[in-house]
Structure 1
Amino acid sequence: MNDINYLWPLMGGLLIGLSAGLYLLTTGRIAGISGLAAAATGLTGAGFSKLGLGFLGGILGGALVASTFVREPNIEVTSSVPLLLVGGLLVGFGTRLGSGCTSGHGVCGLARLSPRSIVATLTFMAVAAATVFIVRLFSGAIA
């Protein structure tokens, strides 16, 4: 394995942890992407959040910087657009139903040893594993 292959994910994980910690220290709030996205777009009922817009802008800006200076991402869409839209809507519904997403529960909630986040993260992981198994079973990848 090339030494650089593990460096980018490690740096990305450190930056995610750093940004979540700084967000908690500076605002006293948990940095969940779904909640910040809802606040940035005005879906929380409190109007548009400048802080949410800034956080989302930082995420998009970081991706832009990484793709410009590090390497061009190799994105390959292998599914149909309607299927992607349905999947996106289901994920969005799930984050609202679960009162958070993998970043809020998985990164911030587990770090705080929140029982609700532990259950939510275990549920995310179990459903993901079951989905992969079922898709592979029906696609013929598992004999």
Structure 2
Amino acid sequence: MTEFTPLASSIGGAMIGLSAVLLMAWEGRIAGISGIAGRLLPPYRDSAFRSRFGFVIGLVAAPLLVMAATGNPIMQTVSANLPLMAAAGLLVGFGSVYGNGCTSGHGVCGLSRLSVRSLVATLTFMTTAVVTVFVVRHLIGA
């Protein structure tokens, strides 16, 4: 079962919101992870490459820093089924391109700007997540 962590979740949410505000203030950019990560690849080698690279490195380094500071391992269960993981990655990538953004861009930044498109996208993400969890936990039994 997933552990209920309201304090840690609230602090994490506040940090995500703060990072989105700071990125908008300093770079004039929306903190959509798919757009930031996608523009690390060619042909996007411009003056903002270093800031995008730093943002992605921060995403990767954050759990490692928490682990180093607390001594507690960051536990994540990931499927060992490589074809399933590849298909899931392709579907997520396709979805973020087709939906003109990812959960962070629409859910954090788009909703705060009162974007109707982001509201529809976020409702779609959340509904799909709820259905997926229900199917995996209660119908498949994984």
Q: Does 1:41 align with 2:52?
A: no
The answer as to whether partners of 1:36 and 1:52 remain within 8 angstroms in 2 is: yes
Aligned to 2:68: 68
Q: What SS is found at the alignment partner of 1:40?
A: coil
Q: What SS is found at the alignment partner of 1:90?
A: helix
In the alignment, structure 1 segments of 5+ residues that lack a partner are: none
- State the alpha-carbon separation in 2 of the partners of residues 63 and 41 from structure 1: 24
Aligned to 1:22: 22
Normalising by structure 2, we get a TM-score of 0.83
| Aligned-residue CA RMSD (Å) | 2.2
Offset, 1:98: 0.6
Amino acid at match of 1:111: S
Normalising by structure 1, we get a TM-score of 0.83
- State the alpha-carbon separation in 2 of the partners of residues 20 and 103 from structure 1: 9
- 1:77-129 deviations in whole A, cap 9, x for unaligned? 34512211211111111111111000000001001111111111111112222
The answer as to whether partners of 2:63 and 2:74 remain within 8 angstroms in 1 is: no
The answer as to whether partners of 2:106 and 2:118 remain within 8 angstroms in 1 is: yes
- 1:49-87 deviations in whole A, cap 9, x for unaligned? 222101101112222211211221123334512211211
- 1:119-142 deviations in whole A, cap 9, x for unaligned? 11111112222333444564269x
Quote the sequence identity (%): 47
